[in-house]
């Protein structure tokens, strides 16, 4: 199956956070999601990450050192199924 580049980027972002177990109360800075992608895609990656926040797959926490993000633990099964469908990785 062919998936759009946007879906692959979404799955890669979610996979990166899931693999590092950034779930629920454990947070990481928002700017870390652009790591691992080409530098010319930075704005697109941030736009796609904001879409994931709007869908509720990623939750945010404002802090004094910037925006912090983590995976929504209530939707972890949905996230894992999406990653498996797009990238083929299982947890």
pTM strictly above 0.75? yes
- CB of 34 closer than 8 Å to CB of 26: no
Give the chain's end-to-end CA distance (angstroms, integer): 21
Residue 1's pLDDT is 64
Does the domain made of 5-87 have the CATH classification 1.10.10.10? yes
Instruction: Give per-residue pLDDT as tens, 21-45.
Output: 999 999 999 999 988 899 899 899 9
Would you put residue 71 in left (φ > 0), alpha (ψ -120 to 50) or beta?
beta
- CB of 40 closer than 8 Å to CB of 2: no
Residue 3's pLDDT is 82
* Mean pLDDT of the 2-31 span: 92
Would you put residue 66 in left (φ > 0), alpha (ψ -120 to 50) or beta?
left
Give the domain ranges of the chain. Answer: 5-87
């Amino acid at each position: 199956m062919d998936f759009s580049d946007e879906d692959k980027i979404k799955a890669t972002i979610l996979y990166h956070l899931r693999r590092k177990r950034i779930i629920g109360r454990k947070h990481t800075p928002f700017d870390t999601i652009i790591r691992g992608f080409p530098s010319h895609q930075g704005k697109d990656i941030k736009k796609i990450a904001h879409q994931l926040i709007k869908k509720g797959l990623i939750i945010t926490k404002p802090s004094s050192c910037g925006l912090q993000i983590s995976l929504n633990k209530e939707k972890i099964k949905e996230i894992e199924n999406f990653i498996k469908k797009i990238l083929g990785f299982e947890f």
